[in-house]
Amino acid sequence: MNALLFRPRDLLLAGAIVLLAIAISTRYGAFVSLSNLLNVYNDTAILIMLAFAQTAVILTRCIDLSVAANLALTGMIVAQLNTIAPGVPILALIALALLIGAVLGAINGFLVWKIAIPPIVVTLGTLTIYRGLIFVIAGGEWVNAHQMSDAFKAFPRETLFGVPVLSWISLLLIVVMGLVLTRTALGRSFYAVGGNPAAAVYAGIDPGRVRFLAYTISGAISGLCGYLWVSRYAVAYVDIANGFELDVVAACVIGGVSIAGGIGTTAGAVLGALFLGVIKNALPVIDVSPFWQMAISGAAIILAVAFNARAERTKGRIILKRAETTA
Amino acid sequence: MLHDSSIAASVPAIALSGVSKSFPGVKALNAVALTLHAGEVTALVGENGAGKSTLVKILTGIHQPDAGEITVRGEPMRFATPQAAAEAGVTAIHQETVLFDELSVAENVFLGHAPRTRFGFVDWATMERRARDLLKGIGASIDPRLPLKDLGIANQHLVAVARALSTDAQVVIMDEPTAALSQKEIEELYTLVETLKENGKAILFISHKFDEIFRIADRYTVFRDGEMVAEGRIAETDSNALVRLMVGRAVDTIFPERETKAGEPVLTVSGYSHPTEFADIGFELRRGEILGFYGLVGAGRSEFMQALFGITKPSKGAIRIDSEVAVIRSPAEAIEKGIVYVPEERGRQGAVGPLPIFQNITLPSLTRTSRRGFLRLAEEFALARQYGERLDLRAASLDQPVGNLSGGNQQKVVIAKWLATQPKIIILDEPTKGVDIGSKAAVHAFMSELVEQGLSIIMVSSEIPEIMGMSDRVIVMREGRIAATYEREAITAEKLVRAAAAIGEAA
């Protein structure tokens, strides 16, 4: 009934992931055990969240390269706060992370909307600024595990029905994001603005405002992931998640989100991230060199784009070329 | 390519006879003839839709005629490709020049046929020298090394002309060359046309402006409805005769009969002005009325409509809707107040291709199909089905992306989208542009139906039969201002053309 929640292409990708997992299990049977699959999911949870956040932005014909820098900066701020004031409750820190992330995202959105700077330039700029800010506030120092409070580190690892909180958060947000994209006027506006900005204007939609909101959502989720990342890995420093934005964009593209805007689903982005997650987790256990991981991810991107171009005859801007060369 | 000048003088530089061209549903040209002589300017006049642009496309090899003959200096020719036309010495300078801002003047002149050195590299020295010579030949002293973007629009035109001449063109087509120029620049263009004449070029000059035609043309050819209706020497005619030739026909398309029962004013606009596009626009739109807006291309009609719809901001002016003062700052506010705008370029500005039909139809009505912030798909489908059926939309399912539909069905989706907002006032910008004749009648019938239900329509149209057949009143705009207003009984094609082009009354 609803073309946006799931597309046939998503099922195809899901099938490809299953085949991949089966192929791996012939070399390493334990890969498909429930506990290992839960581990792979938990490992991929942050990539999944960033991927569907990025989807909102890409749907509007923009791109957000600052997500990983936003994550690192927000993560550093909450980690520092935790060392200074260990008594601040974790939920307050999470709210703060969402807020900081949203503000950082809103800055991108504002520059794209009001100053009309091309999105790729804006977010390349803020990427560098946010990374620089981490250095400024931390003075180049690391925040290590022993400086963080136990509650701070424990939260994402706590389990509920045998599944870690980190995974639960990502599952919850998948549902929320799916609802936003398919069941709200805002979500529909993302598709309209990316599909045909001129037509959106005549329909009473302000493309600038919609893009601003997409960036703010992307930023808020990046901020949340900032806390989750530093608490899970129990360390914060300037270079965490360095280059992770390229994995995020790659996940979207593999998931069938059109770089030209207007096409893509939450499910697709999630599956794209899972595909990368499976490759990343499986290859080391079947003794494939990590260098092959990059080549395989790259090949998957090219295949996915070729597939999109054939299936939808969309004119994709070749932003990915840069993603590959810088990767 | 050397040609004996004495032959060139006696034989037409290019001649067309019996040329016909049909497109699906339309006969664009019906056995037309046109003759251009070296050293003469021939003005081609006719209303929009008379077949002028089709003729230009045949002359430049973009379209192939279905029948007829083209001779160049007496020899039969076929322009199978634009290259063939260029090699035969036919070149066109378009209304909007197709040049490259970041390239130098010389590169713009020689792009695609740059002189080469022995090693196959671009011979910059020769290219710049020849560009300088060509520009000097048309009386322009422009440094060929400058980037094009540093030149004013008039000088850019000169570069376009130099480019046209760089291929040794004998026939130069100028399609509304003055549309974007200021008065001073137009004067310079006249000088340029004189220079081209002296150099023995045959010039086809397409213009809606009669003062220009009488100023520089030697001959005229009049097209009407795809046929050549008259030709002759400019010295032997006057503007009244030309206007009559252009519009002289019974309105042959059947327009729906309807009784005008205009009610109370629904929209009152006063003093609407914009710094550059339009000034002092004021009028009243009544319930159940079709108000036509006629004018030449570039008269500021669409620009005014965009301001009325909140896309651009007027510098001053006020509106009242249902006699209450209203302010429209954005399209969303306009839609909320019951005004919708169906834009001219429905392909580019109308539908969102990747989105399914039902989502396109409900796009401006999302607040109505939402409950507590969530969209109700069932309501969206119901709304889409209701308006899709009303417009006889043919689609396998409402889930289909609009991009997969035929052009006619896409148009229906766009119109359904606006009707679904239940507007009071619909602004239709060129409602039947690019629509085949059968669908035109359907659009017109539908417009009548809408006004009978009490809606009010503002119709921007450049087609005189449509304006005359559909409007209850007509406002003619010229150069950003209202030039005239006519009630239905008083509308004549001549009056419209005169008001739009500022031609005085017949003596």
DSSP element (H, E) containing B450: helix B437-452
How close B164 comes to chain A (CA, Å)?
A: 32
Any idea which residue has 């046939």 for tokens?
A: A8
Best mutation target among A196, A206, A259 (most B Cβ atoms within 10 Å) is: A196
Share of chain B above pLDDT 70, in %: 90
**B438 pLDDT band (50/70/90 cuts)?**
low
Q: Under DSSP, is residue A290 helix (H, G, I), strand (E, B) or coil?
A: helix
Q: Please, what is the average pLDDT of chain B?
A: 83
Q: What are phi and psi of B244, to 5 degrees?
A: -60, -40
For position A106, what pLDDT does the model report?
Answer: 96
The CATH fold assigned to B1-89+202-249 is Rossmann fold (3.40.50)
Nearby residues of B218 by Cβ (< 8 Å), 6 or more positions away: B40, B41, B42, B233, B234
Report yes or no: A312 at the B interface, CB cutoff 8 Å: yes
Q: Tell me what the mean pLDDT of segment A300-326 comes to.
A: 55
How close A258 comes to chain B (CA, Å)?
A: 11
Global pTM reads 0.75
ipTM over the 0.95 cut-off: no
Q: Tell me: the pLDDT tens digits for B171-184?
A: 988 887 776 666 67
Query: Domain ranges in chain A?
Result: 8-326
For position B95, what pLDDT does the model report?
Answer: 58
DSSP element (H, E) containing B160: helix B153-165
**B92 pLDDT band (50/70/90 cuts)?**
confident
Best mutation target among B349, B370, B380, B428 (most A Cβ atoms within 10 Å) is: B349
Nearby residues of A174 by Cβ (< 8 Å), 6 or more positions away: A48, A52, A266, A270
Beta carbons of A196 and B348 less than 8 Å apart: yes
Q: Tell me what the mean pLDDT of segment A239-251 comes to.
A: 90
Any idea which residue has 């995202």 for tokens?
A: A105
A-chain residues within 8 Å CB-CB of B349? 196, 198-199, 201-202
Q: Under DSSP, is residue A71 helix (H, G, I), strand (E, B) or coil?
A: helix
Put the strands of the sheet holding B265-273 in their side by side order. Answer: B281-286, B265-273, B316-321, B324-326
Q: How is residue B170 written in tokens?
A: 């004998």
Q: Per-residue b/e over B174-208, b at no fewer than 16 CB within 10 Å?
A: bbbbbeebeeebbebbeebbeebbeebbbbbbbbb
How close B348 comes to chain A (CA, Å)?
A: 7
Put the strands of the sheet holding B473-478 in their side by side order. Answer: B339-342, B425-429, B456-460, B290-295, B473-478, B481-487
Range with the largest mean pLDDT of A212-226, A231-245, B267-281:
A212-226
For position A59, what pLDDT does the model report?
Answer: 94
- Residues of chain A numbered 253-272 and touching chain B (CB < 8 Å): 258, 262-263
**Closest CB from A2, A195, A204 relative to B353:** A195
**Other C-beta atoms within 10 Å of B406: how many?**
10
Q: Point out the least confidently predicted range of A12-16, B121-125, B162-166.
A: B162-166
Beta carbons of B311 and A201 less than 8 Å apart: yes
How close A166 comes to chain B (CA, Å)?
A: 27
Report yes or no: A179 at the B interface, CB cutoff 8 Å: yes
Gap between the Cα atoms of B141 and B342, Å rounded: 46
Any idea which residue has 């700029």 for tokens?
A: A125
Query: Domain ranges in chain B?
Result: 1-89+202-249, 253-338+423-507, 345-422
Q: What CATH number should be reported for the domain whose range is B253-338+423-507?
A: 3.40.50.300
Helix, strand, coil in percent for chain A, rounding step 5: 75, 0, 20
Q: What CATH number should be reported for the domain whose range is A8-326?
A: 1.10.3470
Q: Tell me what the mean pLDDT of segment A214-220 comes to.
A: 96
A-chain residues within 8 Å CB-CB of B354? 191, 195, 258, 262-263, 312, 314
H helices within A139-164, ranges in order? 150-154
Q: Tell me: the pLDDT tens digits for A81-99?
A: 999 988 889 999 999 999 9
Report yes or no: A8 at the B interface, CB cutoff 8 Å: no
Q: What are phi and psi of A303, to 5 degrees?
A: -60, -45
Beta carbons of B354 and A2 less than 8 Å apart: no
**Closest CB from A198, A203, A258 relative to B363:** A203
Report yes or no: B422 at the A interface, CB cutoff 8 Å: no
Query: Is the pLDDT score of A126 beyond 70?
Result: yes
Q: Pick the residue from chain A with its C-alpha nearest to B357.
A: A3
**A324 pLDDT band (50/70/90 cuts)?**
very low
**Closest CB from B343, B366, B399 relative to A3:** B399
Report yes or no: A181 at the B interface, CB cutoff 8 Å: no
**Closest CB from B331, B332, B354 relative to A262:** B354
